[in-house]
Amino acid sequence: MAEVRLINNLKGILYYLDMPLLDFEICNRELVRAVDLNEGKLFPPELAIWGISYGNINAFFQRRTMKEGCMFYREHLRAMGMERFDFDEYIRKNNGNNNVDNYWIRFPDFGAKRFGDL
């Protein structure tokens, strides 16, 4: 069965390195707040090209996660402390970072507080 990769509830600030870009909140799969903190500069492609929306933020995070069925997928989830995939939890546990670029999320109540802590 294919995993659902839709953000249900997520609140945080999108950063590039230590530069805040976007303060956002998603509730019940709806973007309820999005404040551009850097005049659109350094946004990831999904937001820079297509604009700020729930769908584009979700697409950004979908691109950043390990795909179901790939090699060592179950081991990867267990290493993150997850027995089954939960998109919101996955994003929170890795601060939205994928170790390929310098984007990450700072959450008000969880995880890294600066880029060097990732």
Range of the domain at 71: 10-106
CA distance 48 to 84: 32
- Note whether residue 93 is domain-resident: yes
Specify whether the CB–CB gap between 9 and 109 falls below 8 A: no
Query: Residue 28 gets which letter from DSSP?
Result: T
- Note whether residue 67 is domain-resident: yes
- Pick the range with the lowest mean pLDDT from 4-18, 29-43, 90-104: 90-104
- Note whether residue 118 is domain-resident: no
Domain count, the chain: 1
For residue 44, the model assigns a pLDDT of: 94
For residue 117, the model assigns a pLDDT of: 84
- Note whether residue 84 is domain-resident: yes
Residue 37's alpha-carbon distances to 20, 23, 63, 70, in angstroms, are: 6, 7, 23, 36
For the cut 60, the answer to whether the pLDDT of residue 13 exceeds it is yes
Q: Note the pTM of the prediction, 2 decimals.
A: 0.90
- Note whether residue 117 is domain-resident: no
